[in-house]
Structures are given as structure tokens and as C-alpha cells.
Structure 1
């Protein structure tokens, strides 16, 4: 990603053990999470993801590599963002290196629901029809 690809960058500390950073790369919104995604931090995250999936054909990348804990409320927010993106003919991709997170997705029946990558694709590929 070149410096010209970054149109907007912002970081928000939710005050609930979660930091949400957001940048725009091309047409994709890349949201990087650091900390814990749990019942306390979900309202701020939900608000941010709802805003990013409100437009037609949203392209959302959620980088979870710096998340050290996610509970069912956090998974619920990711499912909501996925459903909103798909309803608007968009997509969501999760970035997660942690084998435990992938195992959690499988155990909860979400293993095949999300497009999961080990790192942010460079360049971000276009959505396939």
C-alpha cells in the first residue's frame, strides 16, 4: 500500500480495553482492533461498523491480529457487520493469524461464514462477482 492509498486514518480508544483504528485504502475500509472485543467494548465497535456498512457495496476489512480476547458479543458484532455488508452487496474480510480464533469460529459454526486471511492482502483484491 502506498502513502497515496490512505485517504483517511483515525484511531479511537473506546475506554473499554479496545482501540479502534480506521483507514481507507482504495475503496476498502480497514478497521484495526487492539485489545479486547467483549460486552463492554461492543457498543463502540458496533456503532463504527454500522456506519461503515451503511453505504451501498461496503468493502470492509477487520484486522483482528492485535485482539487478544473476543467473546460471543464480539462475534455477534462481526456477524451483524457481515449481514449488513452482504445485504448491501458488499463484503467483509477478517484478518486473523491466531489459530485459537479460527478454532473459535469453527466451534461456533462460523468457520465457513467469514472470509479469513492471515494478513491484510496487498493490494486489497477486488470483490469477485
Structure 2
């Protein structure tokens, strides 16, 4: 079952949502900064309202990622079961802040969506 972006709140970010069973795969492209982070939070909240077993956030197309984006991920982590939030990143732009803050110890960090979907 696949959902389209039209099911999500309007945002300046390019966002896609794909359901793989009970796992939601949220693709994000653009900059997650102080202006777009509230919109990112709205999108994540809309996905979490549908109660996925896992939330995979694909940040490979994100070109800027600040602490406000980290706060959105930390809030999502608190709402999900342990290790149910997984981030896909292949660049230091997004994986660096997660590692520097230690959030990667609670939020799974993966190189691919397929890797993130598997236990």
C-alpha cells in the first residue's frame, strides 16, 4: 500500500511517503532549518498519527540539517517503540549531527532503506 504526498501537510520540503506493510518510509529532500523544521514536525506527526510499527526517515536528499531537525527526530523517537525510528543517511550533512549528539545510539542510522527496514 502506498500513500502519496497529498496525504501529508503542505511543506516547503519535498516529502514522499511509502508504506511497506506497517512501516512508513518518509523521504525528505531540501533543507531542514529553523524555518522548515516546524513543517518537518507536522509531516512526522501526520505519519505517526497513523501508528506505524517503524518509521524510516530517508534523509539522503537533505542538503542542510540543523538542531531543529534533530529535535523533530528526538520527539518522534519518544513516541515510538524502542528502535522503531530509523534514519537513512549517506552523508555527513545528516549523519554527522546524529553522531555528534549521540542520538544515533537511540535512533538507528542506516545506509539504505532496505537495511533500515530489516531488524
Give the TM-score taking structure 2 as reference length: 0.82
Contact 2:62 2:94 in 1 (8 A): no
CA RMSD in angstroms comes to: 2.4
Q: Which residue does 1:14 correspond to in 2? A: 11
Q: Which residue does 2:37 correspond to in 1? A: 42
More helix per residue: 2
How far is the alpha carbon of 1:117 from its aligned partner?
0.7
Q: Which residue does 1:118 correspond to in 2? A: 111
- Which stretches in structure 1 are left out of the alignment for 5+ residues? 1-5
CA distance in 2, matches of 1:122, 1:90: 13
How far is the alpha carbon of 1:27 from its aligned partner?
1.3
* Mapping 1:96-111, distance limit 5 Å: 96-111=89-104
Q: Give runs of ≥4 in structure 1 deviating > 6 Å.
A: none
Contact 2:110 2:116 in 1 (8 A): no
More strand per residue: 1
Q: Paired residues, what number?
A: 117
Does 2:48 correspond to 1:53? yes
